[in-house]
Structure 1
């Protein structure tokens, strides 16, 4: 949180506070869901962790789905988080033969303009006592999304890319 000299300082939680939030990293393609990776409790998504644990699962899932096709045509769309922009990550992406988009606008990221809202809508009001129950519900809901919806979101992304270019990168609404 950025504060100027005039604003209130943010509240700092006491040591030992445990957030109930968990990070899910979701990878999908035109055909549907590839990998849902749940960051283990008390783990931080660092560059090293991402490269060693997450990317290898993605590569395996793609190779399983398309055993005779190289990943060299696979484009990963990352957000602006440090671990995804780090030099070690970009080097690993090259070694694994992935392509990576440059940092993105939320208007162009399918997770931001489509997937997160689906999960919010479908899981609204449900409470989960264990992370395993939440993970099972998230996986279950993601797997019920029809292939046509995944294809549609990629078509819609193309429209969004065009609108972003036409608006010279300025914010736009209405898709």
Structure 2
């Protein structure tokens, strides 16, 4: 398929993956004021509501760089419906914008075997718009560069 003069080019591959980005809310300095002796370091005192939070980012890119970056809204779960309506629709429009003559007819999508990616609600629309999904091996960190 990728041989010289083959039907597909490596530039047709659009890999994508989800990853969690944690972030922390740091309390203002006035909440950390305390008297300490000159011998030790001042301990950090956190407010009672301090906690680590995280957000899921979905990133798709191609040979020219990031294509789509989607941030999952807070208190939302990644489902096949969300994936198709909010992520893949943006991927399709970005591909159409970058390659108007070829559109999605040559596109090879590479995403992992997560539930929302393999659901019928995802695979059916991809077939309809002509995007082919490359099979993803069970464990291949070299094919998921978003994880690095």
Do both share a fold (TM > 0.5)?
A: yes
**Which of 73, 78, 83 is matched with 1:40 structurally?**
73
- The number of equivalent residue pairs is 98
1:125-173 per-residue CA deviation (whole Å, 9 max, x = no partner) reads xxxxxxxxxxxxxxxxxxxxxxxxxxxxxxxxxxxxxxxxxxxxxxxxx
77 and 48 in structure 1: CA distance in 2 versus 1, 3 angstrom threshold: same
RMSD: 1.9
Which residue is 1:66 aligned to?
99
Alignment of 1:22-101 (within 5 A): 22-101=55-134
Structure 1 unaligned blocks of 5 or more: 1-17, 118-175
For residues 87 and 116 of structure 1, what CA distance do their matches in structure 2 show?
25
Whether the 8 Å CA contact 2:68–2:91 is kept in 1: the answer is yes
TM-score by length of 2: 0.60
More helix by proportion, 1 or 2?
1
Counterparts of 1:81 and 1:19 in 2: how far apart (Å)?
25
Counterpart contact for 1:25–1:37, Cα < 8 Å: yes
5+ long unaligned stretches in structure 2: 1-50
Q: Give the match for residue 104 of structure 1.
A: 137
Larger Rg over CA atoms: 2
Moved over 4 A (4+): none
* Greater relative contact order (CA < 8 Å, ≥ 6 in sequence): 2
Indicate the structure with greater strand content.
Answer: 2
Counterpart in the other structure of 2:11? none
Equivalent pair of 1:78/1:84 in contact (CA under 8 Å) = yes
